[in-house]
Amino acid sequence: MAEPGSRWSKPYALAVALFQIERRTLLTAPEAWRRVTDWPRHGAYVPLTKITVDPPAPEPVGPGTLVVARTGVGRAAFDDPMEIVHWEPATDDTPGSCRLEKRGSVVLGWAEIEVERWRGGSRVLWREEARVRGLPRLFDGVTGAAGRWFFGRAVSELLRYPA
């Protein structure tokens, strides 16, 4: 997992909604990876959200793939497009990592996912920096807490038995 000073750690301003989620599971690292990167399934656990992937399955996912989360209802909906810029799937022998960069006009930031073998199962680390354009940085704490809750719930459900 990334530690301060690793290739994934980035300097960031103090007033950024940065959050991290860690989950441990009995799933193998490849199976945990498959589940947390099953982008359309994320929509089942994030309220009012549908996820699309371009190019769509069965095309391979990798750098350049666009994942779009459409959240809201009717005119109150917005897109959160994220481009995969790094993709290294987990195997039984090597950890996996993925980085998505937010490319939209509403939600800014990035997300990183790491999956590694851990004590007969695996460990998933989800790190994200998110900021809502136009929302004063005064609300970054609330944005981070909401992100931890929503994504923590989503990751837990994605890893839950049965698939």
Question: Is there a domain that residue 120 lies in?
Answer: yes
Q: Which residue has the tokens 């069965």?
A: 58
Banded pLDDT at 14 (limits 50, 70, 90): very low
- Name the pLDDT band for 146 (thresholds 50, 70, 90): confident
Residue 1 lies in a domain: no
Average model confidence (pLDDT) for the chain? 88
9 within a domain of the structure (yes/no): no
Task: For residue 73, give the CATH number of its domain.
Answer: 3.30.530.20
Q: Tell me what pLDDT residue 58 has.
A: 78
Highest mean pLDDT: which range of 54-58, 82-86, 133-137: 82-86
User: What is the model's pLDDT at position 163?
Assistant: 61
- Asked, for residue 29, whether it belongs to a domain, the answer is yes
Percent of the chain with pLDDT over 70: 90
pLDDT of 16 reads: 65
In total, how many domains does the chain have? 1
Q: What is the pTM assigned to this prediction?
A: 0.85
Helix/strand/coil (H, E, C) string of the chain?
Answer: CCCCCCCCCCCCCCCCEEEEEEEEECCCHHHHHHHHCCHHHHCCCCCCEEEEEECCCCCCCCCCCEEEEEECCHHHCEEEEEEEEEEECCCCCCCEEEEEEECCCCEEEEEEEEEEEECCEEEEEEEEEEEECCCCHHHHHHHHHHHHHHHHHHHHHHHCCCC
Inside any domain, residue 110:
yes
Query: pLDDT by residue (tens digit) across 83-123?
Result: 999 999 999 999 999 999 999 998 889 999 999 999 999 99
Domain for residue 7, yes or no?
Answer: no
139: pLDDT strictly greater than 90: no
The answer to whether residue 140 sits within a structural domain is yes
pLDDT at 138 over 90: no
What range does the domain containing 119 cover? 17-159
